[in-house]
């Protein structure tokens, strides 16, 4: 049992993480391993400074805590401090994956998930194949001197089937990923894999360079989700505003920042790679609308940023592991759906481009998305494949140029990559949205 001293705020975060990694290249096994790591992150606040420690030796938590107390200064009014007031007190035990834990899936089944698809990956143009399986099961505990006592589990697993194609000097890479929070969700058929290979071959052989210009564009849900995450989600992380008066004036709540049909939210409550029922400060996650009907309505907070801006904590203080302190991060960032079908969105475009998938995206004031799969739109129909290096635009201008949203939303989880901020990468996040029509975008 952890003993806390009076005159300080303190909390202890513990994670036990089980993970598996399997990798085949060109059908040959390169990696097959599972591991379990348990670690604690301890912190003390005296109203002036934070003091941190991290340890693999869980029997040493109390001694580490005592060492931090020795460096701090007692403060009998610590619980009146605005930051400390923002720490919620929850006592909750959540167990979501009993009976379906990836720890209990035999390694042979994890291998079979990959090896059963080897034949479907083959083509005369496929020069290299990579098949990967990744999973993670974590049990989190959080205890604070205010009385918080939380325990919950998190699980994510996925398979990735990647190919590198070549035809002379022309090359193209593509992959199919299936992720979920249960192993039973990962089934991929030969037909799905072959469809990915056939589309990739068609793109390799027939894609033509785009003529640079300004065009109407439709973003597929996965691209729309990355757009929301990169172009606007990071701007909503409130620590960017601390000490920046210009940013505070530009990001005043109630400001019109997008078209009337646009709403974007962040939520840690949905199962998937962004699932965070309680953040790493013990605060309960929720569904926070960042934009509602084109108006800036919220931002993401830790207890510290909420105190600084006199707003409510949102449960968005997160760390990638117990090696790091929590900072303000997204969970699952999603563009709300609209009132049009996918077909209606395409029907409204005489000539433009459809961005089906992407390599990566980035942005703050100006965003950039590098497409991997893109197609011409002609007279409302998807046409030939095209090579597009980037699509770019000013964030606020683009948010106001969204002129159509499909009525169905797709939310994605990922076991590879993640979100990076400061030195903390990769953090598991999710994102998604509908098909998004943008009336004008720079395409090159």
What 170-176 contacts at long range (C-beta under 8 Å, 24+ apart), as own/partner pairs, is 170/204, 170/205, 171/204, 172/200, 172/203, 172/204, 172/207, 173/372, 174/199, 174/200, 174/203, 174/357, 174/372, 174/373, 175/130
**Residues in the chain, pLDDT under 50:** none
SS3 labels along 150-206: EEEEEEEEEEEEEEEEEECCEEEEEEEEEEECCHHHCCCCHHHHHHHHHHHHHHHHH
What CA–CA distance (Å, rounded) separates 421 from 326? 11
DSSP conformation letters of 43-109: EEE-SS-EEEEEES-GGGHHHHHHHHHHHS---TTGGGSHHHHT----EEEE---TT--GGGS-HHH
At residue 83, the pLDDT reads 98
| 349: Cα within 13 Å, side-chain hemisphere | 29
Look at residue 153 in the predicted model and tell me its pLDDT: 96
* Cα(221)–Cα(229) distance, integer angstroms: 12
pLDDT at residue number 384: 97
The H-or-E segment that residue 381 falls in is strand 381-387
Whole-angstrom distance, CA of residue 414 vs CA of residue 252:
33
Which of 70, 35, 32, 34 lies closest to 51, judged by CA? 70
Classify residue 99 by burial, with Cβ atoms within 10 Å: 0-12, 13-18, 19+. Answer: exposed
Nearest-angstrom CA–CA distance, 41 and 90: 19
**Can you give the pLDDT at residue 271?**
86
How far are the Cα atoms of 59, 144, 238, 282 from residue 2, in angstroms, in the given order?
10, 9, 32, 16
Within 8 A by CB and 6+ apart from 229, the residues are: 330, 333, 361, 419, 429, 431
The number of CA neighbours under 13 Å toward the Cβ of 273 is 25
Supply the pLDDT for residue 318.
Answer: 98
Q: How far apart are CA 352 and CA 376, in angstroms?
A: 6
The pLDDT score that the predictor gives to residue 242 is 87
Burial class (CB in 10 A: 0-12, 13-18, 19+), 425: exposed
**Which of 218, 58, 202, 197 shows the shortest CA–CA distance to 128?**
197
What pLDDT does 361 receive? 78
Task: Please report the pLDDT score of residue 343 as a whole number.
Answer: 96
Count of beta carbons in the 10 Å neighbourhood of residue 350: 9
371 backbone dihedrals φ, ψ, rounded to 5°: -70, 150
């Amino acid at each position: 049992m952890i003993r806390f001293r009076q005159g300080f705020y303190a909390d202890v975060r513990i994670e036990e993480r089980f993970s598996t990694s399997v990798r085949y290249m060109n059908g040959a096994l390169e990696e097959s391993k599972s591991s379990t790591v348990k670690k604690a992150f301890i912190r003390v606040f005296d109203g002036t400074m934070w003091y941190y420690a991290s340890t693999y030796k869980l029997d040493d938590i109390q001694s580490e805590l005592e060492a931090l107390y020795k460096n701090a200064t007692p403060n009998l009014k610590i619980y009146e401090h605005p930051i400390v007031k923002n720490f919620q007190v929850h006592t909750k035990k959540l167990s979501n994956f009993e009976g379906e834990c990836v720890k209990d899936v035999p390694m042979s089944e994890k291998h079979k998930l990959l090896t059963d698809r080897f034949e479907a990956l083959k083509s005369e143009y496929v020069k290299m194949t990579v098949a990967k399986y990744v999973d993670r099961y974590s049990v989190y505990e959080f205890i604070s001197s205010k009385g918080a006592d939380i325990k919950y589990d998190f699980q994510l697993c996925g398979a990735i089937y990647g190919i590198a194609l070549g035809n002379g000097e022309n090359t193209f890479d593509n992959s199919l990923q299936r992720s979920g929070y249960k192993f039973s969700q990962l089934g991929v058929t030969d037909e799905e894999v072959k469809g990915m290979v056939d589309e990739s071959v068609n793109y390799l052989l027939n894609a033509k360079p785009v003529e640079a210009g300004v065009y109407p564009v439709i973003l597929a849900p996965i691209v729309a989700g990355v757009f929301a995450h990169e172009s606007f989600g990071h701007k909503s992380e409130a620590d960017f505003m601390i000490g920046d008066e210009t940013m505070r004036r530009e990001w005043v709540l109630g400001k019109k920042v997008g078209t009337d049909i646009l709403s974007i939210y962040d939520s840690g409550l949905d199962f998937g790679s962004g699932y965070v029922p309680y953040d790493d400060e013990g605060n309960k996650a929720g569904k926070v609308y960042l934009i509602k009907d084109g108006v800036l309505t919220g931002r993401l907070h830790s207890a510290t940023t909420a105190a600084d801006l006199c707003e409510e904590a949102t449960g968005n203080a997160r760390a990638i592991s117990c090696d790091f302190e929590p900072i303000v991060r997204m969970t699952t960032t999603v563009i709300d759906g609209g009132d049009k079908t996918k077909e209606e969105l395409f029907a409204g475009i005489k000539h433009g481009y459809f961005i089906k998938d992407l390599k990566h995206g980035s942005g703050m004031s100006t965003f950039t998305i590098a497409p991997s799969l893109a197609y011409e739109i002609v007279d409302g129909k998807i046409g030939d494949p095209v090579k597009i290096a980037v699509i770019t635009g000013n964030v606020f201008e683009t948010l106001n140029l969204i002129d159509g949203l499909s009525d169905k939303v797709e939310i994605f989880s990922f076991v590879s990559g993640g979100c990076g901020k400061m030195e903390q990468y990769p953090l598991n996040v999710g994102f998604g949205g509908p098909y998004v029509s943008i009336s004008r975008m720079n395409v090159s």
